[in-house]
Amino acid sequence: MSDFLRLAEDIAREAGDMLLAKRPTMSEEIETKSSPTDVVTILDKASEELIRERILAARPGDRILGEEGGEAPGESEVRWIVDPIDGTVNFLYGLPDWAVSIAVEVNGEVVAGVVNAAQRGEVYTAALGEGAWLGGERLRCTTGVPLAQALVATGFGYSVSRRVVQGEVVAAVLPRVRDIRRGGSCAIDLCSLAAGRLDAYYERGINHWDYAAAGLVATESGARLGGLHGRPVSPGFALCAAPGLFEELHDLLVPLDPERD
């Protein structure tokens, strides 16, 4: 796993440096995906191309799943999960909460993950069973926080119908917690939770590349990551917090039916 982690970190750092050097303005060419608010820039594609090239140069038989390019087949049991820019809208507006995210799966299990929050100058790393780290500091999520004192992060989807439901849900959650934060990057939210900067996170509609690496960072910090009703984390729903708070927030969310659109 150390070889996987070293390679993933080197590539994530290179991609982050490229993105910082070529940071766009609002006049840059952009495209939309699922809706007018779901954007992709030419640098999303350039970052993913760089990452794919570096992975295949080092490990030509591995599979790669990327947000922009889809899945590339391979012969090995190893699959790389790539989000070239998680938080593209933040990146486009010059806000710091965006990241390059690279995870490594072996036989379907994530064993290594790197999240490079390049504009923040922070690189989060994790290896299965070996902890989560920010630089030389081991990360531990905050424990013992009751729901009423929890700082909770969430995010919103791109379709109008989903946003209507998410607005209803967050309106019901807000009076029951310390406060709500909406940073705009699933990967950074999960890493911030691992670092004790947030107490909990929930969101509907995130994809595997959004949470693969950062989810490992969070769980290796001691947090629990899953879906509702005992299901695993998925695009259907993601919930993350330390044990105890996880269950409290889960029980608050379930009657709100946050998985509806």
Return binding residues.
67, 83, 85-86, 210
Q: How deeply is 123 buried, as exposed, middle or buried, from its count of CB atoms within 10 A (0-12, 13-18, 19+)?
A: buried
Annotated binding site for Mg(2+): 67, 83, 85-86, 210
**Residues whose CB is less than 8 angstroms from the CB of residue 243 and which lie 6 or more positions away in sequence, other chains included:** 143, 224
Please, what is the end-to-end C-alpha distance for the chain in angstroms? Answer: 39
What contacts 118, CB < 8 A, 6 or more positions away? 16, 17, 19, 20, 98, 99, 100
Kind of pairing, strands 200-203 and 151-154? parallel
Residue numbers annotated as active site: 67, 83, 85-86, 88, 210
Of residues 185, 237, 236, 241, the one with CA closest to residue 213: 185
Coil, strand or helix: which one is 62?
A: coil
Three-state SS sequence of 120-153 = HCEEEEEECCCEEEECCEECCCCCCCCHHHCEEE
What gap in Å lies between CA 88 and CA 85, rounded to an integer?
A: 6
The residue behind tokens 């982690």 is 5
